[in-house]
């Protein structure tokens, strides 16, 4: 059995009708589960592929076994949702709140996401949950606290390009030679981090805490360092091409031999 979601409810913004439909679907699936089992039919094959509805609210929804490939869940409220064995390949979960959600057995490979959760009610994973290694690392960074960083002290050569790491805790982590090009590190905690030889070209480091960071030989071409905290940062031999800096933020900064081509210091 396969059921196609009436996506027109969502396209028309009729959330009340859509939630009613989803509730009735789950009730039907539950009521006739024995029949489906006896007849070897799949009662869970609900098709939501390519769903596009940012800021969707699906709190506590039962989305078990549902096809959500390439769905667009940007900034969605998915707290407590049940995604057990759901197909989320290629889905965009950037900014989605998955606090207390169950992703046991879900397939999230190929996803693009910055997902977060309340540490008091974490997301449920197990070995059957499938994530690309890169995004597994991004998830662990984003959902770690300052007190639970020991697992990632060594991230040498890590590929975090394009990752959304806003407000991430990376204090004293070794990110030398890491690829952080195009990453969003705004307000990230990067005190005493080792970013020597790292690629930070085009990265957003606005308001990042970079005190005492090692940025020797780092590529910061076109990076956004507005309002970044740069006290005692080591920028020797760093590439600061097309970067705007404020003189007030450069106290104690070591920038001898840095490439300052088109660098603007106000």
In sequence order, what DSSP letters do the residues of 158-190 get, joined into one string?
A: -B-TT-B-TT-B-TT-B-TT-B-TT-B-TT-B-
Q: Provide, rounded to the nearest whole percent, the portion of the chain with pLDDT above 90.
A: 36
Q: Which of 36-45, 58-67, 160-169 has the lowest mean pLDDT?
A: 36-45
Q: 216 in a domain, yes or no? A: yes
Q: 198 in a domain, yes or no? A: yes
Tell me the backbone φ, ψ of residue 133, rounded to 5 degrees: -55, -40
pTM of the model: 0.71
Q: 168 in a domain, yes or no? A: yes
Q: Which of 71-75, 82-86, 210-214 has the lowest mean pLDDT?
A: 71-75
pLDDT for 226 beyond 50: yes
Q: Which of 34-38, 113-117, 191-195, 210-214 has the lowest mean pLDDT?
A: 34-38
Q: 248 in a domain, yes or no? A: yes
Q: 255 in a domain, yes or no? A: yes
* All residues at 6 or more sequence positions from 79 whose CB lies less than 8 Å from its CB, including other chains: 59, 60, 97, 98, 99, 100, 101
CA dist 177 to 155, 156, 241, Å?
A: 9, 6, 19
* Domain span at 220: 140-266
CATH number of the domain within which 174 lies: 2.160.20.80
Is-contact 218 198, C-beta < 8 A? yes
Q: 42 in a domain, yes or no? A: no
What local confidence, expressed as pLDDT, does residue 137 receive? 87
H/E element, 265: strand 264-265
Q: 212 in a domain, yes or no? A: yes
Q: 99 in a domain, yes or no? A: no
Average pLDDT over residues 128-137: 85
Total domain count, the chain: 1
The β-bridge relationship of strands 2-4 and 45-47 is: parallel
Helix (H, G, I), strand (E, B) or coil at 134: helix
Average pLDDT over residues 43-53: 57
Average pLDDT over residues 216-223: 98
């Amino acid at each position: 059995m396969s059921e196609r979601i009436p996506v027109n409810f969502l396209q028309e913004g009729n959330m009340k009708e859509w939630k009613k439909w989803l509730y009735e679907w789950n009730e039907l699936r539950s009521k006739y589960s024995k029949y489906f089992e006896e007849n070897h039919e799949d009662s869970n094959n609900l098709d939501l592929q390519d769903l596009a509805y940012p800021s969707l609210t699906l709190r506590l929804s039962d989305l078990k076994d549902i096809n959500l490939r390439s769905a667009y869940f940007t900034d969605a409220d998915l707290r407590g949702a049940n995604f057990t064995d759901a197909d989320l390949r290629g889905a965009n979960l950037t900014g989605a709140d998955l606090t207390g959600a169950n992703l046991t057995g879900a397939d999230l490979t190929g996803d693009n996401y910055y997902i977060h959760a309340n540490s008091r009610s974490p997301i449920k994973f197990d070995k059957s949950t499938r994530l690309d290694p890169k995004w597994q690392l991004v998830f662990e960074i984003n959902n770690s606290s300052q007190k639970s960083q020991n697992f990632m002290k060594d991230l040498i050569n890590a590929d975090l390009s394009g990752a959304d790491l806003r407000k991430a805790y990376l204090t004293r982590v070794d990110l030398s030679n890491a690829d952080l090009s195009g990453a969003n590190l705004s307000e990230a905690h990067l005190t005493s981090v080792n970013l020597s030889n790292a690629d930070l070209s085009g990265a957003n480091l606005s308001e990042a805490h970079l005190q005492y960071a090692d940025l020797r030989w780092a590529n910061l071409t076109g990076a956004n360092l507005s309002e970044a905290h740069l006290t005692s940062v080591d920028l020797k031999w760093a590439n600061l091409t097309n970067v705007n800096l404020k003189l007030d933020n450069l106290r104690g900064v070591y920038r001898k031999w840095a490439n300052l081509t088109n660098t603007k210091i106000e």
